Amino acid sequence: MAEPMKIRATLKGDVAEVKCLMNHVMETGLRKDAKTGTAVPAHHITNVTCTVGGRQVMDAQWGGGISKNPYLAIRVKGAKAGDKVVVTWIDNKGDSNTAEASVG
């Protein structure tokens, strides 16, 4: 797990557009293996946080309804060029990953 995430934050006026692409299987726990017929165990992101310039701007609770390799885009007001953007996720198995970028 924990393949690198892609992240970019672009400033337009005082709004930073943060785009992030996470690598995750996002198994719901309900899908059945086509060959064995047994359910594939749940394995999905449960929490995602985003900070911009040290300020937390998002704290999201996710579940099995989010698709594989989630794509996240948020707009953050009051950002400045050079602000550090950090996006972190944690999954139901305790795995996590973090990506950083600076607003540009």
Partner 1 sequence: MPIDRRDFLTSSAAALTAAVLPRTAAAKPHAAQPHVVVVGAGFGGATCAKYLRLWDPGIQVTLIEPNPHFTSCPMSNWVVGGFLDFDYLVKRYDKLPKYGIRMVRDRVTGVDGEKRLVHTQGGEKIAYDRLVLAPGMEFMTEKVEGYAEGAKAGKVMHAFKAGPETLLLRKQLEAMPDGGVFIIASPPPPGRCVSGPYERASVAAHYFKQHKPKSKIIMLDGHIDVVSKGPMFKAAWKELYPGMIEHRPNNLAVGFDHRTMTVRTEFEDQKGDVVNIIPLQRAPQLCKDAGVRNDALDRWCRVDFTTYESTSVPNIHVVGDPIMSNMPKSAHVSNNQAKIAAAAIIELLHGRQPDPVPVIGSTSYSVTSDHTSGSIAVVMRYDPVKKVYQRQPEGGANKTHSEIEFEYGRSWHENMWADTLG
Chain positions contacting partner 1, by CB under 8 A: 6-8, 19, 21, 67, 69, 71
Tokens of 65: 């309804």
Beta carbon of residue 99, minimum distance to partner 1 (angstroms, whole number): 10
CB neighbourhood size of 104 (10 A)? 12
The DSSP secondary structure of 47-87, one letter per residue, reads EEEEEETTEEEEEEE--TTSPSS-EEEEEEET--TT-EEEE
Nearer to partner 1 among residue 12 and residue 35 (C-beta): 12
Nearer to partner 1 among residue 8 and residue 43 (C-beta): 8
Nearer to partner 1 among residue 71 and residue 93 (C-beta): 71
